Amino acid sequence: MIVKEMRSPVQAEEEEKMQRDIAGLIKEKASLQAISYYNLGTQYEFLKNYKHCIENFEKAIEILEMRFEPSYPLALEFKSGLSVAISKYSRFLKWKGTKNQRTFSNLTKIKVGRSAVSQGRSSQPR
């Protein structure tokens, strides 16, 4: 015979409160973890390493969407950051694709300008 444990209303209420507290802590931990990934992504964005930036932003969004609804304000903010990073990465890839077609006439002018200045200084009497 199985005997069910009888709980008083006070015990049941305390148990429910503890479960809500645990759920809140799990959501808080998920938020902090997502923020950490997002911060790491912003550092990669600053370093112009867009591939890793996008990976970290996506991981942050994935964590938030597992614990919160997709319309959660932090998730929306992170999605906005992700779209900016993707557009920067797209522009970078376009620039990288045309890099071999670029002429370096400005660089030549700078080198010529510097050598002319340095030669001019050495030829001036002191």
Kindly list the domain boundaries of the chain, sorted by start residue.
10-123
Residue 15's pLDDT band (cuts 50, 70, 90): confident
**What's the pLDDT tens digit per position in 108-117?**
444 444 444 4
Tokens of 24: 């809140």
Task: Name the one residue in this structure whose structure tokens are 């071999």.
Answer: 100
Distance of CA 3 to the CA centre of its chain: 53
Coil/strand/helix, residue 101: helix
- pLDDT (0 to 100) of residue 85: 93
C-alpha to C-alpha distance for 55 and 66, rounded to whole angstroms: 17
Contact of 60 with 78, CB cutoff 8 Å: yes
Residues 32-59, mean pLDDT to the nearest whole number: 94
> Range with the lowest mean pLDDT among 20-24, 81-85, 102-106?
102-106
Listed in sequence order, the residues at least 6 apart from 15 whose beta carbon sits closer than 8 Å to its beta carbon are 7
Contact of 67 with 27, CB cutoff 8 Å: yes
Coil/strand/helix, residue 106: helix
For the domain with range 10-123, which CATH number is right: 1.20.58, 3.30.450, 1.10.405, 3.30.420?
1.20.58
C-alpha to C-alpha distance for 22 and 28, rounded to whole angstroms: 10
